[in-house]
Amino acid sequence: MNEEQKIACHVCKKDIPKAAALHAEGEEYVLHFCNIECMDYWKKEKKKTEKEE
């Protein structure tokens, strides 16, 4: 049995070990990222959409 759980990065969809993933928590969700670059990318995109109100 492989105990290492894999999840997909929210941005690039790459499979990454859950233990090594970075995550961002929202009100009703948790997102996973393979590295800080993907997390930054998502943060920028998020800001963009938030401004468009």
Of 15 and 51, nearer to Zn ion (C-beta) is: 15
How near is the Cβ of 34 to Zn ion at its closest, in Å? 4
**Local structure of 49: helix, strand or coil:** helix
List, in order, residues 6 or more apart from 45 with CB less than 8 Å away. none
Of 13 and 51, nearer to Zn ion (C-beta) is: 13
Q: Which residues bind Zn ion (CB under 5 A)?
A: 9, 11-12, 34, 38
* Residue recorded with tokens 């928590």: 25
How near is the Cβ of 19 to Zn ion at its closest, in Å? 16
